[in-house]
Amino acid sequence: MKQIVVLGAGTMGNGIAHTFALHKFNVTLIDTDSARLENAVNTIERNLERQVKKGTIDQSEKEEALSNITSTSVLSEGITNADLIIEAVTEDLEIKSDLFRKIDELCPTHAIIASNTSSISITALASATKRPAQVVGMHFMNPVPIMKLVEVIRGYETSDDTATKIMNLATELDKVPVEVNDYPGFIANRILMPMINESIFALYEGVAGREEIDQVMKLGMAHPMGPLQLADFIGLDVCSAILTVLYDGFGNPKYAPCPLLTKMVTARKLGIKTKEGFYKYD
């Protein structure tokens, strides 16, 4: 596998492109929003520079990584000769299914189509294509260049060959792959999101303030980041979308998004990406 397409240049897309490019893959980064695309390339450059300053990579590795990335807002560019397409667009079943249908028509027959979805059914996305055996979940964690885990999700028809290739690829990227089955939220978000939602309920009910809630979880449970700070980091819209998938998928009210979360998403207070969520950012 050499030619990689990353679809979606948001929080996750830029991190995935960064990681592949640093490992000498050719990456085409695609987004319909050219401002997001430009922003993503600037973010990658800044983050690579940070790695140079830390001494984890040298200047020539930074330059090589940047030269491995091409960006475009034209879907067909890059896809027609891709070995692997990783979709990292907005967490929405309709948007993703529509893209999977288009990608399936454009990419070569040998190509694997992976989704970085946090919670949406890989089986549902695979059913939008004519190659369900070559569809898989490749769920990176945020921030991608730093976090070791990749959840590899097998849809109903994902073949052993596809799953093995993606597990091996994750290892090549210096990540640790963990294979899981396709149920709402998989493992990571099935456990993480109820904790974040509960902390928002605690704030909503006035049990404690935001700093106090985060402090309890940082100092008491040795979490590196409090749950409200983490929600801002992930994006409140993403958290709300994942909780909705859990709620609909299991039909269990315990997953219903807290009304405060819904209100903040409606007000576009989405966390770091809009400079305000539970906290404010400059």
Ligand X SMILES: NC(=O)c1ccc[n+]([C@@H]2O[C@H](COP(=O)([O-])OP(=O)(O)OC[C@H]3O[C@@H](n4cnc5c(N)ncnc54)[C@H](O)[C@@H]3O)[C@@H](O)[C@H]2O)c1
Amino acid at 185: G
Q: Chain-centre distance of CA 125, in angstroms?
A: 16
Beta bridge partners, 176, equal: 149
Using CA atoms, how far apart are residues 154 and 249, in angstroms rounded to an integer?
Answer: 17
Q: Contact at 8 Å (CB) between 145 and 16?
A: no
Q: Does 91 sit near ligand X (CB under 6 A)?
A: yes
Tell me whether residue 7 or residue 217 sits nearer to ligand X (CB atom).
7
Q: Which of 4, 5, 6, 11 contacts ligand X by CB under 6 A?
A: 11
Tell me whether residue 210 or residue 273 sits nearer to ligand X (CB atom).
273
Q: Does 72 sit near ligand X (CB under 6 A)?
A: no
Minimum CB–partner distance for residue 207 and ligand X (Å): 26
Q: Which of 3, 5, 6, 10 contacts ligand X by CB under 6 A?
A: 10
Q: Which of 1, 23, 36, 256 contacts ligand X by CB under 6 A?
A: 36
**Of 19-27, 88-96, 176-184, 244-252, which segment contacts ligand X by CB under 6 A?**
88-96
Q: What character string, x for contact with ligand X (CB under 6 A) and - otherwise, covers 257-276?
A: ----------------x---
* Residue 118 annotated to the active site: yes
Binding to ligand X in span 114-153, by CB under 6 A: 116-118, 139, 142
Per annotation, catalytic residue among 119, 121, 139, 197: 139
Q: How many CA atoms lie within 13 A of 234 on its CB side?
A: 26
Tell me whether residue 10 or residue 132 sits nearer to ligand X (CB atom).
10
Active centre residues (catalytic)? 118, 139, 151, 189
Instruction: Tell me which residues touch ligand X (CB under 6 A).
Output: 7-13, 30-33, 36, 88-91, 95, 99, 116-118, 139, 142, 234-235, 238, 273
